[in-house]
C-alpha cells in the first residue's frame, strides 16, 4: 500500500462547487489550458474552507499560513470554453501536521475530467514549519469528527 493511500478521505466533509470555464482559461482550440486545473483546485479548496471554517483568512487569524508544498493533477477529459463543471473537494484524515485535499472535477455529463491532490503545511508567524497541528486546527478536527 502506498503511503498516501493509508489515510482515508473524510467524505462527509466533501464540498461541491460549480464553475464555468472562462474564455481566458482556454487555448486557441477552446480547450482549458492544463495549468488552470490547479486554479480550479484552489476554487474548491477555498469553498471548502469557507464552508467548514478553515479558510485562508481563518487560518491567518490564528497566526498561521498554509503554503502548498506538493500538488498533483491527472487529466482525463478536456473541458472547453463555456462548459459548466463541478469540483468536489475532500480533506484527507491524516495524523501528520498537514492538510491534504483531494479533488475530482466532473464535466456536465458527470464524467471525471480531472483528479488531483494538494498538500499544505502549517507555518507559524515566524515562518517556521509546525511539526504538530496548531491548537486551533486540533479543535477543528475534533469538532468535525476527525479525532
pLDDT in tens, 66-102: 999 999 999 999 999 999 999 999 999 999 999 999 9
pLDDT value of residue 3: 55
CB 59 within 8 Å of CB 50: no
User: Where do the structural domains in the chain lie, given as residue ranges?
Assistant: 8-140
Which triple of cell numbers denotes residue 44? 474548491
pLDDT top residue among 57 and 7: 57
What sign does the CA torsion over 36, 106, 12, 94 have?
A: negative
8-140 has which CATH code? 3.10.129.10
* β-pair partners for 88: 16, 104
pLDDT in tens, 103-140: 999 999 999 999 999 999 999 999 999 999 999 999 99
Rounded to whole angstroms, the Cα distance separating 103 from 118 reads: 9
- In whole angstroms, what is the distance from residue 110 CA to residue 128 CA? 42
Residue 70: per-residue pLDDT: 97
Amino acid at each position: 500500500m502506498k503511503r498516501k493511500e493509508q489515510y482515508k478521505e473524510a467524505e462527509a466533509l466533501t464540498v461541491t462547487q460549480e464553475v464555468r470555464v472562462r474564455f481566458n482559461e482556454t487555448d486557441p482550440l477552446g480547450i482549458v489550458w492544463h495549468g488552470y486545473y490547479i486554479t480550479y483546485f484552489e476554487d474548491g479548496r477555498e469553498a471548502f474552507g469557507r464552508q467548514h471554517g478553515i479558510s485562508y483568512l481563518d487560518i491567518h487569524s490564528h497566526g498561521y499560513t498554509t503554503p502548498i508544498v506538493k500538488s498533483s493533477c491527472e487529466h482525463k477529459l478536456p473541458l472547453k470554453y463555456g462548459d459548466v463543471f463541478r469540483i468536489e473537494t475532500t480533506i484527507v484524515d491524516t495524523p501528520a501536521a498537514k492538510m491534504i485535499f483531494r479533488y475530482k472535477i466532473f464535466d456536465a455529463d458527470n464524467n471525471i475530467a480531472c483528479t488531483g491532490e494538494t498538500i499544505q503545511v502549517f507555518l507559524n508567524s515566524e515562518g517556521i514549519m509546525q511539526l504538530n497541528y496548531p491548537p486551533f486546527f486540533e479543535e477543528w478536527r475534533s469538532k468535525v469528527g476527525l479525532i
